[in-house]
């Protein structure tokens, strides 16, 4: 009879060595202090900070992997596909999706644009992409990745696509289908391209086969909560639409959402080892980010987000008014949170890091930016202007 071998159960090995704990705490504390110290003057970037995500803390520490199609639960239990489906239903209502729509939670607006262009390329072979010069840099990058030819369309002074230029340029390729990316809130001026005008421009150019993707990374959600706004959602004629989750919803993990007016089945193979379908660009996807989106959408609802958007626009209007009052040139597009202003004096720019292109910088009055932030900026600016030394 052979001797029975016993296996001793070892305690989990940790990677930390003696003394490392306090060094790590120190580094993390320093990062937190750096972020908090800059909070009053960090108003140039589009991340809302008014929603409290701490109720999700109990989920932190467990892997939540939403791999695969949201409508098919994977084999493992560490996922929140149920929450993802609720988030997608909320977004489908918001963006007035027709029956038969599909979608998923992405890693951000960039993946949403890649997916929208991929959908267009899959539906319409030999197509040409049109996007404005103000489109996000992820758009030409996605065209490059997908091997799609891209044509840049000029914009008006405020950053909206010039539809006559779209007609002119599309007419040169009228024998080929068109994929048009409409930007719903451009990165610098928050200008909104109108999908109805895009369709009209393609009609005039004689192009029937088309896919319109709305890049709503910045302004898709807040605009959807208002009634008098440009046409951009699925009921308005977009074929796909994407948003970032960390912008208007302010999730503390970067993420996004993309919706497609059609079902994705025709090009989505099954993955036997996961028991799911491959309908997404990323394989593993963050369930934690999805839980955050679910928290933002269910705790506030469409009415709560409409209120947040209205309040943010009031702060933006206040900023323009205050800047004008001290003689500093400023303007904003209708319904936008973004306020364009002449670049700050160099001394101030070090404290207020405001994105700048050409003659204009911007502040973005995302929810969480209050009139006190604007007062601090404008009062400092007025003091500089009256005594530059």
Instruction: Give residues in contact with ligand PLP (CB under 6 A).
Output: 108-110, 113, 136, 138, 183, 185-187, 215, 217-218, 244, 256
> Would residue 336 show up in a list of annotated catalytic residues for this protein?
yes
Task: Identify which of residues 66 and 214 has a Cβ nearer to ligand PLP in the complex.
Answer: 214
- Give the nearest distance from C-beta 217 to ligand PLP in angstroms: 3
- Give the nearest distance from C-beta 136 to ligand PLP in angstroms: 3
Task: Identify which of residues 218 and 363 has a Cβ nearer to ligand PLP in the complex.
Answer: 218
Where is 183: in which H helix or E strand? strand 178-183
Task: Identify which of residues 225 and 338 has a Cβ nearer to ligand PLP in the complex.
Answer: 338
Long-range contacts for 165-173 (Cβ within 8 Å, ≥24 apart)? 166/130, 166/198, 166/201, 166/202, 166/205, 167/201, 167/202, 167/204, 167/205, 168/205, 169/130, 170/128, 170/130, 170/201, 170/202, 170/205, 170/207, 171/204, 171/205, 171/206, 173/128, 173/207
- Selecting among 107, 244, 336, 361, the annotated active-site residue is 336
- The token duo for 61 is 């520490």
Burial class (CB in 10 A: 0-12, 13-18, 19+), 44: middle
- The token duo for 160 is 């909206």
Q: How far apart are CA 265 and CA 275, in angstroms?
A: 15
Q: How far apart are CA 218 and CA 46, in angstroms?
A: 7
Task: Identify which of residues 187 and 297 has a Cβ nearer to ligand PLP in the complex.
Answer: 187
Ranked by CB distance to ligand PLP, the top (closest) residue is 109
- Give the nearest distance from C-beta 90 to ligand PLP in angstroms: 19
Q: How far apart are CA 168 and CA 146, in angstroms?
A: 24
- The token duo for 337 is 């949170």
- Give the nearest distance from C-beta 134 to ligand PLP in angstroms: 8
- Give the nearest distance from C-beta 186 to ligand PLP in angstroms: 6
Task: Identify which of residues 121 and 136 has a Cβ nearer to ligand PLP in the complex.
Answer: 136
Active site amino acids: 336
């Amino acid at each position: 009879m052979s001797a029975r071998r016993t296996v001793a159960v070892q305690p989990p090995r940790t990677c930390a060595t003696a003394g490392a704990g306090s060094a790590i705490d120190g580094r993390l504390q320093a990062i937190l202090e750096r972020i908090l110290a800059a909070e009053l003057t960090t108003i140039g970037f589009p991340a809302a900070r008014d929603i409290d995500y701490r109720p999700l803390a109990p989920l932190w520490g467990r892997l939540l992997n939403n791999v695969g199609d949201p409508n098919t639960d994977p084999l493992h239990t560490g996922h929140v596909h149920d929450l993802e489906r609720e988030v997608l239903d909320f977004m489908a209502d918001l963006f007035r999706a027709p029956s038969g729509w599909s979608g998923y939670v992405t890693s951000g607006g960039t993946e949403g644009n890649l997916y929208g262009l991929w959908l267009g390329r899959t539906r319409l072979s030999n197509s040409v992409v049109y996007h404005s010069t103000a489109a996000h840099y992820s758009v030409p990058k996605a065209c490059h990745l997908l091997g799609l030819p891209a044509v840049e369309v000029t914009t008006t002074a405020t950053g909206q696509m010039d539809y006559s230029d779209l007609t002119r340029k599309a007419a040169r390729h009228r024998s080929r289908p068109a994929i048009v990316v409409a930007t719903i809130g451009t990165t610098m001026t928050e200008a909104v391209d109108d999908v109805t005008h895009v369709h009209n421009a393609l009609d005039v150019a004689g192009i029937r086969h088309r896919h319109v993707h709305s890049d709503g990374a910045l302004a898709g959600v807040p605009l959807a909560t208002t009634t008098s706004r440009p046409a951009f959602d699925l009921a308005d004629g977009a074929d796909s639409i994407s948003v970032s989750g960390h912008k208007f919803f302010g999730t503390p993990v970067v993420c996004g959402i993309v919706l497609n007016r059609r079902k994705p089945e025709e090009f989505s193979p099954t993955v036997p080892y996961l028991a799911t379908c491959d309908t997404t660009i990323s394989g593993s996807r963050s369930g934690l980010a999805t839980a955050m989106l679910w928290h933002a959408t269910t705790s506030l609802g469409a009415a709560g987000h409409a209120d947040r958007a209205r309040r943010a626009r009031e702060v933006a209007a206040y900023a323009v008014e205050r800047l004008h009052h001290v003689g500093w040139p400023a303007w904003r597009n209708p319904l936008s949170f973004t306020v364009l202003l002449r670049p700050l004096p160099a001394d101030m720019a070090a404290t207020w890091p405001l994105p700048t292109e050409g003659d204009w910088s911007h502040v973005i009055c995302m929810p969480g930016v209050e009139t006190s932030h604007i007062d601090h900026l404008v009062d400092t600016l007025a003091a500089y202007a009256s005594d530059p030394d």
